[in-house]
Amino acid sequence: MAYIAPSEFPPLRNDLLLRAAKGEETERAPVWIMRQAGRYLPEFRELREKHDFFEICRTPELATEITLQPIRRYSGLLDASIIFSDILVVPQALGMEVQMLPAKGPHFPNPLEVPEDMSRLKQNVDVNVELKYVFDAITLTRKGLKGEVPLIGFCGAPWTLMAYMIEGGGSKTLNKAKSWIFKYPEESKVLLKRVTDVCVDFLVGQVKAGAQLLQVFDSWAGELAPHDFAEFSAPYLKGIASSVRAKLDAESIPQVPMTLFAKGANHALSLLAAESGYDTLGLDWVIDPVEAIKVTGGPKRRVALQGNIDPNILYGGRDAIEREVKRMAEGFKNGGRRPRGWIANLGHGITPGVDPDDLKWFLECVHKYSGSD
pLDDT tens, residue by residue, 25-34: 999 999 999 9
Q: Each residue of 303-342: pLDDT tens digit?
A: 999 999 999 999 999 999 999 999 999 999 987 789 999 9
Q: Mind listing the pLDDT tens digit for each residue in 269-295?
A: 999 999 999 999 999 999 999 999 999
Give the mean model confidence (pLDDT) for residues 239-243.
98
Which member of 58, 74, 79, 86 is catalytic? Answer: 86
Secondary structure letter of residue 198 according to DSSP: H
Whether 164 sits among the annotated catalytic residues: the reply is yes
Q: Is residue 373 over pLDDT 80?
A: no
Give the pLDDT mean for 14-25. Answer: 97
Q: For residue 127, is pLDDT > 90?
A: yes
| Mean pLDDT along residues 192-212 | 98
pLDDT at 370 over 90: yes
Phi, psi values for residue 119, rounded to 5°: -65, -15
The yes-or-no answer on residue 184 being catalytic is no
Active site annotation includes 35: yes
Query: What does the mean pLDDT of the chain come to?
Result: 97
Q: Is 142 a catalytic site residue?
A: no
Residues above pLDDT 90, as percent of the chain? 97
- Catalytic, out of 74, 164, 236, 278: 164
Q: Which amino acid is at 273?
A: A
Give the phi and the psi of residue 17 in degrees, each rounded to 5: -60, -45
Active-site residue, selected from the candidate residues 28, 35, 58, 340: 35
Instruction: Name 282's bridge partners.
Output: 261, 306
Cα separation, 225 vs 35, in Å, equals 27
Read off the pLDDT band of 151 (50, 70, 90).
Answer: very high
Kindly give the pairing relationship between strand 151-156 and strand 105-107.
unpaired
Which residues, at least 6 apart from 73, have a Cβ–Cβ distance to it below 8 Å? Answer: 41, 43, 356, 360
Phi-psi region for residue 54, left (φ > 0), alpha (ψ -120 to 50) or beta? alpha
Compute the distance between CA of residue 57 and CA of residue 217 in angstroms, rounded to an integer. Answer: 18
- Going by pLDDT thresholds of 50, 70 and 90, the confidence category of residue 238 is very high
Q: Can you give the pLDDT at residue 220?
A: 98
337 is catalytic: no
Q: Which amino acid belongs to residue 5?
A: A
- List 19, 39, 73, 245, catalytic entry: 39
Peptide bond into 308 cis (omega under 30): yes
Tell me how far apart the alpha carbons of residues 203 and 160 are, in angstroms, rounded to a whole number.
16
- Give the list of residues 6+ apart from residue 351 with CB closer than 8 angstroms, or none: 40, 311, 312, 314
